[in-house]
């Protein structure tokens, strides 16, 4: 004789949902890409590549850009986020000239920057380009490029800033603009080394 139990009352029926098991597959890799397109700024025989900050996972893409534009040196004006080893293997020298975001460069950074520009673009490798980057490529890096255009390209500060902004929208904040307007040339301007008597 078999006895069957009656079904439980409807009010006591519960439904439980168990989450699917956690995947043991590795996470999908994202495709490496450049954050914002590097900007080539070329004027008066000076060529610069203004960039945002590379990361280890996309550094190889930046190196392709550097090679495409004949970059011999890269200046990092922010905290390090990548190793120089891959750059050096590609024949690109890394220079660290960090200074605080949103500010004007200190004297030692200006001196190092102007010495590098003079050595590379005017003295030893005039056909080369120098890449310079900060975090977003909108403040510190464009300020250094503006200084080079003022010093060696003979540009008025406002003309230098306008030229950079036409090529890289959003570059140089108001505080940095005021600094550049007040900047006094160290090299005599014009870049020719001429003296008028």
Give the tens place of pLDDT for each residue, 60-77.
998 999 999 999 999 999
Is-catalytic flag, 134?
yes
Active-site hit among 78, 134, 192, 194 = 134
pLDDT at residue 29 in the model: 52
DSSP codes joined into one string, 100-166: -TTSPPPHHHHHHHHHHHIIIIIII-TT-EEEEE-SSSSSHHHHHHHHHHHHHS---HHHHHHHHHH
Name the band, by pLDDT with cuts 50, 70 and 90, for residue 158.
very high
Question: Two tokens at 13?
Answer: 């029926």
Higher-confidence residue of 20 and 137: namely 137
Model confidence band, residue 30 (pLDDT cutoffs 50, 70, 90): low
Alpha carbons 100 and 191: distance in angstroms, whole number: 28
176: Cα separation from own chain's centroid: 17
Whole-prediction pTM: 0.76
Token pair, residue 104, equals: 């004007």
Task: Name the 3-class secondary structure at 71.
Answer: strand
Q: What is the mean pLDDT of residues 43-69?
A: 90
């Amino acid at each position: 004789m078999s006895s069957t139990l009656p079904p439980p009352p409807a009010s006591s029926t519960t439904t439980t949902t168990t989450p699917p098991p956690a995947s043991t597959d590795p996470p999908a890799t994202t495709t490496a890409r450049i954050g914002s397109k590097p900007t080539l700024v070329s004027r008066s025989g000076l060529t610069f590549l203004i960039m945002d900050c590379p990361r280890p996972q996309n550094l190889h893409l930046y190196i392709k850009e550097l090679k495409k534009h004949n970059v011999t040196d890269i200046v990092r004006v922010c905290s390090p986020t990548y190793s120089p080893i891959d750059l050096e293997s590609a024949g690109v020298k890394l220079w660290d000239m960090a200074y605080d975001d949103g500010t004007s460069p200190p004297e030692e950074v200006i001196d190092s920057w102007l010495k590098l520009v003079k050595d590379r673009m005017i003295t030893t490798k005039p056909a080369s380009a120098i890449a310079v980057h900060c975090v977003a490529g909108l403040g510190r890096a464009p300020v250094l490029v503006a200084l080079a255009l003022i010093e060696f390209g003979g540009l008025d500060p406002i003309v230098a800033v306008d030229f950079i902004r036409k090529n890289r929208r959003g570059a140089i904040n108001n505080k940095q603009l005021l600094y550049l307007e007040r900047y006094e040339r160290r090299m005599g301007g014009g870049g020719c080394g001429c003296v008028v008597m």
